[in-house]
A and B are shown apart, each in its own frame.
Chain A
């Protein structure tokens, strides 16, 4: 087991904070692709991460597959099912991150549901995530009210716990989330589940502006964003944009690993152009 370097890690700003500071000083925005760990298999996910980085990703969000993803639409549901059939586990995801770290320093955020993390053991999860080189964790079904235990475990190893804000969040929710969150705020662009949408809500700028009144943390926007033009639009106000289902659709609908990697690479490069246009 890797030794937990408590004192140094809590003081040193994490990879996420460092990244957002650097982007801000250059007036740039973060492109944050989301993929499910283990879909179609862990080996491909590893290569996908390298491809995403080469194509312009600034942060990687990795989904930890769960049997009952209540916050996800059909694309990610199916993706998790494929990954679970191939034997994806939280332990396997941590191992994947450790492998990736041999060649890459890109910030990595794990995105998941609480039950698999709870079953793994919160402290064990935090310790091993830290040892693997995980930078942030976001648990969709864990609002601040229930997050004290995981927060303490992650704090001890210097991993950011990222929270969601949504169109339904009022000022008191925003304050509450701002108090406990770190790394960045993930603003959900719509009321609904994940999944590519044809149209973007025109309220996103006002959401982001409102969130900034309650938090100094960088604000990333996700859910439903699926084209370079939408990414560009979002980054006019946000600090970063998350794109998930649109990438996973490519992974699901393309035959052969080589072509998957090249198609995903092409798409993400275009997203990057969009983000850089903003």
Chain B
């Protein structure tokens, strides 16, 4: 099972549904990526920054106390929260900015939801001295203030987006509008495995370092492959990054955890695969939360990084083929997962990652003690302290 094909399709999903103005730009990007990804110097530079700047490899940590508490399968955490800037997002922004530099682009733009991708982009732009503008929904600016401040400190311009639901989807619309306007000098660093081809492939490749490391680490530590991989799914970049290197290992099961919000029955969720239907948005065909008439619905999740009505096309395909299962976790369950990990292991997870924890809390007790789960701990929770303190009625 390999994708995408040469036009960027994963089965019926993916592709390039964008305005003609951007077609030459994505074709140029695809050519550049093909050229540089096999270039020795490029690969070495990427490896250098991942090691010396990001802090890779990240640990694969045996969560003994969490395992004991749940009383079933052994739980390992892939510690992406320990990456520089606090989430997996930087694995991708380093890769893309190295491409941008080789393509001679002077200006970087990005969309962001939780602000983690925005921070990771602003960070690498600062490092290489490139102008950077980040589009962020005004509602997300409100709920992820620490990250807004970080981006500004890093010299990025943060542009609030007030259209539509004022969250990630609208930030992406605005980033695309900017790109179409400044296409000649601007490189658009997309933060997840969505958008027009080659982005879903390129972001996946840069994030696959997570799964490659985890595969080697678990074998080294336990002498075997894991039985189950769990990762949260917003657009799906941390999930595909963990899953992809295991796709040919037939015994390894995988679950992508979507944001169930207040539950799948109403409209207050962001579970595109569990609660959506195929359609076209932001350059690719995939599962979308949309009404019968093809208008995109407003979504809800307590975690800004999962609050998106679509999902990467490769996930849509992995769902249809049955290789990966997709489940929803509610806001409440995620908050409980957040608390559990914090109290048992002394690790404060991002609310996004808390969805993956919460799913493990549900399924680990039902598994054998000899079985192994790897959870992708995609980010740390500092950015969420305000939201969480409100939910737990704490005073900060």
Collect the chain A residues with CB atoms within 8 Å of residue B7's CB: 145
The CA of A192 and the CA of B174, in the complex, are separated in Å by: 12
Collect the chain A residues with CB atoms within 8 Å of residue B184's CB: 168, 191
Most central of A89, A146, A192 by chain B CB within 10 Å: A146
Instruction: Give how many B residues have a beta carbon under 8 Å from the other chain's beta carbons.
Output: 36
Instruction: Give how many A residues have a beta carbon under 8 Å from the other chain's beta carbons.
Output: 38
The CA of A84 and the CA of B297, in the complex, are separated in Å by: 12
In the complex, how many angstroms separate the beta carbon of B154 from the nearest chain A beta carbon?
27
Question: Are B293 and A146 touching (Cβ within 8 A)?
Answer: no
Within 8 A of A (CB), among B1-35: 7, 15-25
Collect the chain B residues with CB atoms within 8 Å of residue A205's CB: none
A87 nearest CB neighbor, chain B only: B293
Is A16 part of the contact surface with B, judged by Cβ < 8 Å? no
The CA of A192 and the CA of B176, in the complex, are separated in Å by: 10
Question: Are A68 and B281 touching (Cβ within 8 A)?
Answer: yes
A170 nearest CB neighbor, chain B only: B24
Is B183 part of the contact surface with A, judged by Cβ < 8 Å? yes
Is B369 part of the contact surface with A, judged by Cβ < 8 Å? no
Is B169 part of the contact surface with A, judged by Cβ < 8 Å? yes
Is A142 part of the contact surface with B, judged by Cβ < 8 Å? yes
The CA of A66 and the CA of B291, in the complex, are separated in Å by: 12
The CA of A66 and the CA of B24, in the complex, are separated in Å by: 25
Collect the chain A residues with CB atoms within 8 Å of residue B23's CB: 143, 145, 168-169, 173
Do A119 and B292 form a contact, CB below 8 Å, given A141-B280, A165-B20? yes
What 1/0 mask marks residues of chain B from 278 to 305 whose CB sits below 8 Å from any chain A CB?
0111110000101011111000000000
Question: Are A120 and B181 touching (Cβ within 8 A)?
Answer: no
In the complex, how many angstroms separate the beta carbon of B19 from the nearest chain A beta carbon?
5
Question: Are A71 and B293 touching (Cβ within 8 A)?
Answer: no
Question: Are B177 and A193 touching (Cβ within 8 A)?
Answer: yes
Within 8 A of B (CB), among A74-109: 77, 84, 89-90
Is B173 part of the contact surface with A, judged by Cβ < 8 Å? yes
Is A14 part of the contact surface with B, judged by Cβ < 8 Å? no
Do A116 and B293 form a contact, CB below 8 Å, given A68-B281, A192-B181? yes
Within 8 A of B (CB), among A197-242: none
Question: Are A116 and B20 touching (Cβ within 8 A)?
Answer: no
Question: Are A115 and B180 touching (Cβ within 8 A)?
Answer: no
Question: Are A169 and B24 touching (Cβ within 8 A)?
Answer: yes
What 1/0 mask marks residues of chain A from 143 to 165 whose CB sits below 8 Å from any chain B CB?
10110000000000000000111
The CA of A116 and the CA of B164, in the complex, are separated in Å by: 17
Collect the chain B residues with CB atoms within 8 Å of residue A67's CB: 164, 295-296
Collect the chain A residues with CB atoms within 8 Å of residue B173's CB: 68-70
Question: Are B294 and A120 touching (Cβ within 8 A)?
Answer: yes
B172 nearest CB neighbor, chain A only: A70
A177 nearest CB neighbor, chain B only: B20
User: Contacting A119 at CB < 8 Å: which of B24, B164, B170, B293?
Assistant: B293
Give me 9 A-to-B residue pairs in the complex whose CB atoms sit less than 8 angstroms apart, sorted by A's number.
A68-B282, A115-B280, A115-B288, A141-B18, A143-B20, A145-B16, A164-B19, A191-B181, A193-B180
Residues of A near any B CB (own CB < 8 A) = 66-71, 73, 77, 84, 89-90, 114-120, 140-143, 145-146, 163-170, 173, 177, 188, 191-193
Known contacts A73-B177, A115-B279; can you find 14 more A-B pairs with CB under 8 A? A68-B173, A70-B19, A70-B282, A71-B180, A114-B17, A115-B294, A115-B296, A119-B290, A119-B293, A140-B19, A141-B17, A143-B18, A164-B19, A166-B19
